[in-house]
Amino acid sequence: ALARRHAGYLSRTGIHNLSILAVETSTGRVRAYVGSPDFFDRSNGGQVDGVMASRSTGSLLKPFLYATAFDRGVIHPDSLLRDVPVYFGSYAPVNADRKFSGMVRASDALVRSLNVPPTLLLREIGVAEFHHFLKMAGMRTLFRSPDGYGLSLILGGAEGTLWDMVRLFRGLASDGRFSGLTLLADEPPEDGPQLLSPAAARLTMEI
């Protein structure tokens, strides 16, 4: 009912599909799974399972990069990061509003979802290391090598599923332990690795 109601709202803005995955943080148990609001809506892809379909991750991976940087001691929430025009060969990340803020605190850069600071941060941490972190955390759609994604990995250059993204965010909310999800109430989810310290995970969640 919630999906259908919100779909009606979105349709007025030209968006005609949505999906929902609600998971219990403590157990990993799926409590609500909606692939689309109307399975029989053929004109808008109603039979496509939006929970398992791959799409650009957009800015969803940024919190995990900042958490990794906190954990490595590269930055802390009040560290000043550059938000200025930068060029990596032909690649020049810009913010959504095409403006730059100069020096910004790391916490503000994450809250505002700025694009230049995390790109510079990813270059410092290393694409290969972050790529490995994402795969260990449960992201199953990374079919290219780290070099195949490059710095665009942090700005939507990779595809992910809603299932995997919810699993990643559950890990962040579980003090950095990235365990699986389960559809069955009596089936315990797989116990995943501790990839972030509780302190780094909580700092990121607070931001």
Spatial distance between the Cα atoms of 30 and 50, rounded to a whole number of angstroms:
15
pTM above 0.85, yes or no: yes
pLDDT at 180: 94
Instruction: Kindly tell me if the per-residue pLDDT of 185 is higher than 80.
Output: no
H or E element in which residue 134 lies: helix 127-137
pLDDT at 24: 95
Spatial distance between the Cα atoms of 204 and 172, rounded to a whole number of angstroms:
8
Instruction: Kindly tell me if the per-residue pLDDT of 186 is higher than 90.
Output: no
Task: Identify the band that residue 199 occupies on the pLDDT scale cut at 50, 70 and 90.
Answer: very high
* Strand spans (E) along the chain: 20-23, 30-34, 55-56, 80-83, 102-105, 159-160
Task: Identify the band that residue 12 occupies on the pLDDT scale cut at 50, 70 and 90.
Answer: very high
pLDDT at 172: 97
pLDDT at 141: 97
Question: Which residues is 88 bridged to in the sheet?
Answer: 91
Alpha-carbon 50 to chain mean position: 16
Instruction: Kindly tell me if the per-residue pLDDT of 68 is higher than 90.
Output: yes
Structural tokens at position 55: 């799409």
Higher-confidence position of 89 and 164 = 164
Can you tell me which residue has the tokens 């950095």?
Answer: 176
